Amino acid sequence: MVSQQPPCPSGRYWRVQPGDTLYLIALRLGTTVEELMRLNPGVDPNNLQIGQLICLPEQQCPSGVYWIVAPGDTLYRIAQAVGTTVEKLLELNPHIDPYNLQVGQAICLP
């Protein structure tokens, strides 16, 4: 019997790589584990398979341009580097903790 994956409303997918977890995928894409679980009801979060496709939410970043957090990055440094303000970054990224950026996290840029 072949299991049918439900349609993905956004048409956006993540192909699971070695070491991926729903938490890391959510962190990289600026979403939540809960949202990924909602979009992927048949996925066992404790048993992701390499090559498995995970449905992603609609892109929430109007510009479609992201900064991937590197060691030592702060919102202030990112804002300076791209010519914007910390306030604008927080407005575009309401889900992030500005005092706890994670390496690999995607920050939406204006």
44, 19: one domain: yes
Q: Domain for residue 19, yes or no?
A: yes
104 shares a domain with 70 = yes
**Per residue in 38-76, pLDDT tens?**
999 989 999 999 999 999 988 778 888 989 999 999 999
CATH number where 78 lies: 3.10.350.10
CA distance 54 to 39: 8
30 domain residue, yes or no:
yes
**Which residue, among 62, 67, 61, 57, has the nearest Cα to 107 in the 3D structure?**
67
Higher-confidence residue: 1 or 33?
33
In contact, 31 and 95? CB cutoff 8 Å:
yes
Domain carrying residue 104: 66-108
pLDDT at 1: 42
- 2 pLDDT more than 50: no
How many CB atoms are closer than 10 A to CB 55?
A: 20
Q: Is the pLDDT of residue 4 over 60?
A: no
- Matching residue, tokens 């949202």: 35
Residue partners of 40: CB distance under 8 A and separation at least 6: 54, 55
Do 51 and 76 fall into the same domain?
A: no
Q: Are residues 50 and 23 in the same domain?
A: yes
Q: How many domains does the chain have?
A: 2
Domain annotation covers residue 3: no
Give domain status of residue 36, yes or no: yes
Instruction: Kindly report the number of other CB atoms within 10 A of residue 109's CB atom.
Output: 21
Alpha carbons 89 and 31: distance in angstroms, whole number: 16
